[in-house]
Structure formats: structure tokens, C-alpha cells
Amino acid sequence: MALSVLKRQGQRKIINEAVDRLRGEESKDEGCLKGHRYLFLKNKNNFTQKQQQNLKCLTISNSKLRSFRALRIKEN
């Protein structure tokens, strides 16, 4: 039981690091991603109303970026 919890936490850590790395790479070219690091790392269930709106606006205008595709994979 404890081993499976550790495995899930390890998997989440790897996924979060990959999403953050992609966001960091793309934020150099796409200025709209700067300052939104925690929108990609934070659990969606714990978002404030403002964070939900920010993510929705960013997703609509930049849905073709790799970091948003990685975020969708992370959520599933």
C-alpha cells in the first residue's frame, strides 16, 4: 500500500517537472506564459476563481503550445 503511494507521488513529480520544463522553454518565446508557473503546477481542484479564469484565457488563446498539451495529459 505505502509503495503504491510512493510510486504515484514519484510519477506526479516527474510529470510536474516535465510540464514546468516545457512551460519554461516556451515562456522564452511566448511572453503570455511568464508569471503563470503555478497555474501549470498547482492542483486544479485548489484553484482560486482568478486562477481558473487566467488558465481558461491562456488555454483559449494558446491551445497549440506544447505546455498546454502536457497540462492536459497531466490532468488525465
Segment 17-60, tens digit of pLDDT: 888 888 888 888 877 788 888 888 888 889 899 988 888 888 87
Domain count, the chain: 1
Separation between Cα atoms, residue 55 and residue 8, nearest integer Å: 25
CB 16 within 8 A of CB 75: no
Separation between Cα atoms, residue 35 and residue 49, nearest integer Å: 17
Mean pLDDT of 10-14: 85
Separation between Cα atoms, residue 33 and residue 67, nearest integer Å: 9
Nine cell digits for residue 68: 498546454
Q: Write out the residue range of the structural domain in which residue 40 sits.
A: 2-75
Separation between Cα atoms, residue 41 and residue 71, nearest integer Å: 9
